C-alpha cells in the first residue's frame, strides 16, 4: 500500500518535514517515491507548500494519507473554483 506521510529532515530540535509518497512498510525517512510538499512548523504561522495536482493523482490511484497530512491538506489547500 502507498501512503502520503511526513518525513522529518530537520536538524536536532529544528524540525522540518517533507510530505512524501512512500510505501507503507518503509522506514519514516526511507526512500520515497515522490516528494509532494513541505511543512515547516517553526515559522509563525506554519508554512506549508503542497503540490495539489500530484496529491490528487496519488489519492486517485489509491494512496492513503496519514492523519496529520490529511489535516494539513484540509487546512492549507486552496479552495477549488466551481
Q: What does the pLDDT read at residue 18?
A: 95
Pick the CATH number of 2-76 from 3.30.70.380, 3.30.1320.10, 3.50.50.60, 3.40.50.2000: 3.30.1320.10
DSSP calls for 29-72: TS--SEEEEEEETTSSSPEEEE-HHHHHHHHHTT-EE-HHHHHH
Q: What is the domain partition of the chain in residue ranges?
A: 2-76
Q: What is the pTM of this model?
A: 0.86
CA atoms within 13 A on the CB side of 48: 18
Among candidates 1, 2, 11, 3, which has minimal Cα distance to 67? 3
Q: What does the pLDDT read at residue 79?
A: 64
Dihedrals φ, ψ of 39, to 5°? -145, 120
pLDDT tens column, 58-72: 999 999 999 999 999
Amino acid at each position: 500500500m502507498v501512503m502520503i506521510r511526513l518525513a522529518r529532515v530537520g536538524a536536532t530540535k529544528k524540525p522540518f518535514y517533507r510530505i512524501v509518497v512512500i510505501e507503507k512498510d518503509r522506514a519514516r525517512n526511507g526512500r520515497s517515491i515522490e516528494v509532494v510538499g513541505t511543512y515547516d512548523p517553526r515559522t509563525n504561522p506554519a508554512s506549508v507548500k503542497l503540490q495539489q495536482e500530484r496529491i490528487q493523482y496519488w489519492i486517485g490511484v489509491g494512496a492513503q494519507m496519514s492523519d496529520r497530512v490529511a489535516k494539513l491538506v484540509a487546512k492549507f489547500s486552496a479552495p477549488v473554483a466551481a
